[in-house]
Structure 1
Amino acid sequence: MHNIRQHIREFILLLLGWLLLVYSSNLMTLTRFNEKSIRTVHINSGALGLINFLLFYGCLRWIATPFFEKRHRTRRLVSVLFIIPAFTLLKYGFVKLFFEQDLLYRGHQIVNRQKVHVYTSLGEYFISALWNNVIIVIAAFSFRLFVLWLQEEKRRAALQQQQIQAESGFLKMQLNSHFLINSLNSIYSLALMGSPEVVRANKTLTHLLSYMVHQPSDISYRAPIREEISYLQDFVTLQRLRTGYNEGIVFSLPAILPDKAIAPLLLVPFVENAFKHGVSNRPGKPVTITIVCDEQQLSFSVHNYISGQQRDKTGGIGLDNVRKRLQLLYPGRHQLDIRDTGKEYFINLAINW
């Protein structure tokens, strides 16, 4: 039942498109607008146009479609050799029966001093209409080929989207696992020191994990910028609890945030990197995080002094992954500048909404 409705809908849409095309093309070729010329347009576009459409649709539905599906190709091509002359004869009979004076009559000539009416013969009409039908059949094959091309492009786009989705999800999973390990290490450090802030740090981590878990895997999803910044604030709070130096972290935010959205978990790797490899327990050398955003752009910067201790060999994983995520999520709409002087580390990210 569903297939029948789909075929009926396809037939009606193609018919309307066909009539619109033939009527507009015939009207554009008119040099005079009078009753006779308008009647001729209606005959060629409406009456004969319907027969031409039946040839087009029948060839499209039962010949071209199976042909490109590689079903009995030889049989389909042979059937074309019968259908074209059959429709040519059908049109001649239709015109002869209903529109002989309009389309076949060519005036008169004097033969033996008698006026003889001259009409287009079957052979003459057959030759002219035959080429017209050949063009219609070629149009049916071309249209089917065009539809197949569109379907193939759609399939390729869907596969590419799935690939991007899978790659983005894999990169986000790596970022999340990397972040979780570092956060657990921070809480473990508090526990070793016997800090009473362990409970508070655990609650903050719970909030962070809840936010991470509830983010959809859809690559097109964007989280409100307010939620993403709140997530960053919880992360900074966790680091402050770990170090015990509030002055070692400077976090600057705009007073009013625009009603915009951003890919979730995109900014935290930069902040995590600053705490992992920077100095956050010296008020004179703080980790500085600055966010400026308006209706057009988000500007995000992180600056930290580099710790003299040996760096974690896996420290580059987060930044490498976030670079790839930016390329997937904001192609041509972001600018990332990273500068390492050996003593200081600067990250500047600009994203156009």
Structure 2
Amino acid sequence: MSDVHRSFRDFMLLLAGWLVLVYSGNLMTVIRFNDKTLRMVHINSAALGLVNFLLFYGCYRWIATPMLDKRRRLLSAGILLLIIPAFTLLKYGFIYLFFARDILYRGHQLINWQKVEVYTTLGEYFVNGLWNNLIIIIAAFSFRLFQLWLQEEKKRAMLQQQQMQAESGFLKMQLNSHFLINSLNSIYSLALMGSPEVVKANKTLTHLLAYMVDQPSDIAYRAPIREEISYLQDFVTLQRLRTGFQEGIVFNTPDILPEKNIAPLLLVPFVENAFKHGVSNRPGKPVTITLSCTDQQLLFSVHNYVSGQQRDKTGGIGLDNVRKRLQLLYPGHHQLDIRDTGAEYFSNLVINW
């Protein structure tokens, strides 16, 4: 759309809104409807309303914005001081030519024993017209300032969205690189042991990486919960191949899931943390992963027994980043509870849809 078409569209929209507003206001002041009162409504709303709108639009379009610029403020103020009386004279002339009997007429006066029709003089109308024009100009400036405020709010919201997008993407990139290093270490361990499961582990890792790469960077994007569970199952499969103990990992998911979506790659850091710092090669002390989902909320918990090896105090970069992502993605709609008893580690996440 060209600038001319856009300006014309804005002009017509403002004019339509102005006429609706003026007609509504004038109709509300009518006590008794008849031909005379309806004629006055049309004169004040349509005829004079159009003249008043030209003053409103001129101030809104060409004067209000320059008034905010210090370099053009003095010139704009001077033009405004000329416009106010000019439009007052314009309206008086317009009324005098077409609607003098309706608006300016004040009755009869006896002069030299003769009845003479009396009309509002230019000076009398000028005083009232100045106040009327001043109100219209204030409305134009207020509307323009409100519009500029909305534009600034839109820009601010866009910048905030871009900042959140960048921060979320950076956090997700850190999680992905963290996951990749750990997964490659797992496959490297299998290769050192000469395990025939290396090929299967490599294929599973390929599926995991493909899923990670396919996720868009849009912070508002949500992946189907089924896909996220499938991703977690592949991740668990990779860990089972590494440890060689199927019973060392228990993954509980419901058979029937609602059609819900979740921010992608949000749950895997909890599982990764359990494998990194927990015990997953002892059937009697398995890593237990439980996921349940309803139309109202998602419940996700991971429990593991703590190994005797040195570990990060807060669960590593994964959990630290996932806390930040939760604040960005589900502010006020999640609860995260992490407990470390020294012997066991509990992660419980609740997301309210």
Report the TM-score range of the alignment, normalised by the length of the smaller protein.
over 0.9
Deviation at 1:27, TM superposition (A): 1.1
What is residue 274 of structure 1 aligned with on the other side? Answer: 274
Deviation at 1:36, TM superposition (A): 0.8
Distance 1:314 1:348 in 2: 15
Pairing 1:17-56 to 2, within 5 Å after superposition: 17-56=17-56
What is residue 320 of structure 1 aligned with on the other side? Answer: 320
What is residue 234 of structure 1 aligned with on the other side? Answer: 234
| Greater mean alpha carbon deviation, residues 19-28 or residues 267-276 | 19-28
Give the % identical residues: 79
Describe the superposition over 1:139-184 as per-residue Cα deviations: whole angstroms up to 9, x where unpaired.
Answer: 1112111111111111111111111111111110110111111101
Compared with structure 1, are the counterparts of its residues 69 and 13 closer, same or farther at alpha carbon in structure 2 (3 Å cutoff)? farther
Moved over 6 A (4+): none
What is residue 160 of structure 1 aligned with on the other side? Answer: 160
Distance 1:44 1:213 in 2: 65
Pairing 1:15-164 to 2, within 5 Å after superposition: 15-164=15-164
What is residue 188 of structure 1 aligned with on the other side? Answer: 188
Deviation at 1:72, TM superposition (A): 2.1
Deviation at 1:70, TM superposition (A): 4.4
Distance 2:134 2:85 in 1: 9
Structure 2 contact 107–119 (Cα < 8 Å) conserved: yes
Q: Which secondary structure does the structure 1 equivalent of 2:282 belong to?
A: coil
Q: Which secondary structure does the structure 2 equivalent of 1:302 belong to?
A: strand
Structure 2 contact 22–49 (Cα < 8 Å) conserved: yes
Compared with structure 1, are the counterparts of its residues 209 and 305 closer, same or farther at alpha carbon in structure 2 (3 Å cutoff)? same
| Greater mean alpha carbon deviation, residues 106-115 or residues 175-184 | 106-115
Structure 2 contact 299–348 (Cα < 8 Å) conserved: yes
Describe the superposition over 1:259-301 as per-residue Cα deviations: whole angstroms up to 9, x where unpaired.
Answer: 1110000000000000111111111100000010011111000
Pairing 1:186-335 to 2, within 5 Å after superposition: 186-311=186-311, 315-335=315-335
Q: Which secondary structure does the structure 1 equivalent of 2:16 belong to?
A: helix
Distance 1:199 1:69 in 2: 69
Distance 1:314 1:188 in 2: 26
- Equivalent position amino acid for 1:131 in 2: W
The answer as to 2:348 corresponding to 1:348 is yes
| Greater mean alpha carbon deviation, residues 67-76 or residues 188-197 | 67-76
Structure 2 contact 110–116 (Cα < 8 Å) conserved: yes
| Greater mean alpha carbon deviation, residues 267-276 or residues 1-10 | 1-10
Runs of 5+ in structure 2 lacking a partner? none
Distance 1:192 1:312 in 2: 26
Q: Which secondary structure does the structure 2 equivalent of 1:106 belong to?
A: strand
Q: Which secondary structure does the structure 2 equivalent of 1:265 belong to?
A: coil
| Greater mean alpha carbon deviation, residues 123-132 or residues 318-327 | 123-132
Deviation at 1:88, TM superposition (A): 0.7
Q: Which secondary structure does the structure 2 equivalent of 1:283 belong to?
A: coil
Distance 1:322 1:69 in 2: 46
Distance 2:96 2:90 in 1: 10
Deviation at 1:305, TM superposition (A): 0.5
Distance 2:268 2:163 in 1: 24
Runs of 5+ in structure 1 lacking a partner? none
Q: Between Structure 1 and Structure 2, how many residues are aligned?
A: 353
Structure 2 contact 314–320 (Cα < 8 Å) conserved: no
Distance 1:312 1:291 in 2: 25
Compared with structure 1, are the counterparts of its residues 93 and 312 closer, same or farther at alpha carbon in structure 2 (3 Å cutoff)? closer
Deviation at 1:204, TM superposition (A): 0.2
| Greater mean alpha carbon deviation, residues 136-145 or residues 254-263 | 136-145
- Equivalent position amino acid for 2:132 in 1: N
Q: Which secondary structure does the structure 1 equivalent of 2:106 belong to?
A: strand
Distance 1:315 1:39 in 2: 79
| Greater mean alpha carbon deviation, residues 307-316 or residues 156-165 | 307-316
Q: Which secondary structure does the structure 1 equivalent of 2:307 belong to?
A: coil
Q: What is the RMSD of the two structures over their aligned residues, measured on CA atoms?
A: 1.3
What is residue 10 of structure 2 aligned with on the other side? Answer: 10
Deviation at 1:102, TM superposition (A): 0.5
Deviation at 1:66, TM superposition (A): 2.4
